[in-house]
Structure 1
Amino acid sequence: MIQLALASARPRAAVPGRGLLDPSVTRLRVRLGDLDFYRHVNNGVYLALMDVGRANFLADLGAFGHLRERGWYPVVAASTVTYRRSLTLGQRFEISTRVLGWDARVVYLEQTFSRNGEHIARGIVAGRFLSRSGDRVPAPDVVALLGGPGVDSPPLPDDVAAWARAVDVAAR
């Protein structure tokens, strides 16, 4: 929670030339509070760490000021994580966050965890933006703000499109 608060309240500097479809990398280390009874990162902690990665992704784009001006903020509509390896106390790792595409409702992101080039876990997130009044902001409006007008969504990978339909977040 502290890492997310810092990443959101005091975002890192924007990366010049960073585009909406460019990946963002967050480097972290496993802390004692990240561990469960079995001494590896708890599955719920992965979701919190993904929040930090997404906050840094927005920071890299210089998005926080633009979103704040409009009163828009991100929320997770759905997420799933698959795990391949464990992370344990003190290990350094990276979370790479990238936009896979979007539809009329949500933006789809992939977040991969790796350690020394080894795949640890993969998260897929359907993100939505809301206004302070509680209204949903269409994903293309957010994309136009952060990526520039006229940016077309890449085709979603088949597994992500199938997942989006299965959890009922895909545009109808």
Structure 2
Amino acid sequence: MTRMIQLALATTRPRAALADQGLFDPSVTRLRVRLGDLDFYRHVNNGVYLQMMDVARSNFLADLGAFPLLNAHGWYPVVASSTISYRRSLTLGQRFEISTRLLGWDPRCAYLEQTFTRRGEHVARGVIAGRFLARDGARVPAPDVIDLLGTHEGPSPELPAEVQAWAEAVGVAHRETA
């Protein structure tokens, strides 16, 4: 429950934008494992990782100064699909970082990588396919959001092959209509 409160605060009262933050620059969120994050085995519950990733993505948008722009258009982010792999456990009281970075986009989704590290060691890695919706429920094309943020010109960089394959396998990748 506390991560949901943290997400609400990160979204409604975002941290200050970073003047030199570019669209492809990593955004770093520093957190500490709390008692409510743990499962029966005394390490972070797999579902809590996803909540932590939500907070880090909100911070990514905040660092870009995106919230006022998105709110003015009535757009908001949603997760279309996610995958995560774990290498090490996080336990009570440990400090760690989540680095969030944009990998690229297609006409439907923006693709982000979120890496958990503790003392420089890799803990977990998540990949997110995110979409933006308008308040009326209409999908907002990812390139329109990229243009709104105004921090990049030109087409998306090529997605890593494994991310493109994953996006196609789970059905979120853009498909040409016949």
TM-score by length of 1: 0.98
CA distance in 2, matches of 1:33, 1:77: 26
Q: Is residue 144–residue 151 contact of structure 1 (8 Å, CA) maintained in 2?
A: no
Extract structure 1 runs of 4+ deviating beyond 6 A: none
Shift of 1:149: 6.0
Q: Which digits, 9 at most, give the CA deviation of each residue in 1:100-154, with x for residues without a partner?
A: 0000000000000000000000000000000001000000000011144633211
Q: Which of the residues 105, 112, 119 maps onto 1:116?
A: 119
Q: Which digits, 9 at most, give the CA deviation of each residue in 1:31-66, with x for residues without a partner?
A: 000000000000000000000000000000000000
Q: Which of the residues 87, 91, 96 maps onto 1:88?
A: 91
Q: Which residue does 1:53 correspond to in 2?
A: 56
TM-score by length of 2: 0.95
Tell me if 1:133 matches 2:140: no
CA distance in 2, matches of 1:150, 1:18: 15
The alignment covers a number of residue pairs equal to: 172
Q: Which of the residues 19, 26, 29 maps onto 1:16?
A: 19
Structure 2 gaps, min length 5? none
Query: Which letter maps to 2:84?
Result: V
Q: Which of the residues 70, 74, 80 maps onto 1:71?
A: 74
Tell me if 1:142 matches 2:169: no
Query: Which letter maps to 2:118?
Result: R
- Specify the SS of the correspondent of 1:64: helix
CA distance in 2, matches of 1:163, 1:30: 29
Q: Which of the residues 33, 37, 55 maps onto 2:36?
A: 33
- Specify the SS of the correspondent of 1:170: coil
CA distance in 1, matches of 2:117, 2:62: 21
Query: Percentage identity across aligned positions?
Result: 74
- Specify the SS of the correspondent of 2:166: helix
* Cα root mean square deviation, aligned: 0.8
- Specify the SS of the correspondent of 2:92: coil
Query: Which letter maps to 1:102?
Result: W
Q: Is residue 22–residue 151 contact of structure 2 (8 Å, CA) maintained in 1?
A: no
Tell me if 1:43 matches 2:46: yes
- Specify the SS of the correspondent of 1:159: helix
